[in-house]
Amino acid sequence: MKVRVAGDPNINRNVSDTGNGDGEIQQGEEGSLDSNGRKELDRNFGQGKGIKLYFTNEIEDTPSIRGSADARDTNSSIPKAIIYLKKSF
């Protein structure tokens, strides 16, 4: 098992939310984040390996949502392995 943490040059940190740049994940922004995260994992660990965590201020404009994850990409049998977590509760 490899674990890469902050400071590793292979990990993209402080990425844009791919939408309006407010640090929150609204509906419609997840697709690009999922795709970019999966590409990063494939490049660094091999296809279908790794987990990408995104920490955000809010998820889908709903304060009660503290985390979100989709099990599989709709176009693939490969697990998405993309998880969104709210920074504070």
Residue 2 lies in a domain: no
Residue 23 lies in a domain: no
Question: What pTM was estimated for this model as a whole?
Answer: 0.76
Residue 70 lies in a domain: yes
Asked if pLDDT for residue 58 goes beyond 80, the answer is: yes
Question: How confident is the model at residue 79, as a pLDDT?
Answer: 63
Residue 40 lies in a domain: yes
Nearest-CA neighbor of 17 among 44, 49, 56?
56
Contact by Cβ (8 Å): 33, 64 = no
- Total structural domains within the chain: 1
Residues 12-50 have pLDDT tens digits of 777 887 878 888 888 888 888 888 888 888 888 888 788
Residue 56 lies in a domain: yes
Residue 5 lies in a domain: no
Asked if pLDDT for residue 75 goes beyond 60, the answer is: yes
Residue 66 lies in a domain: yes
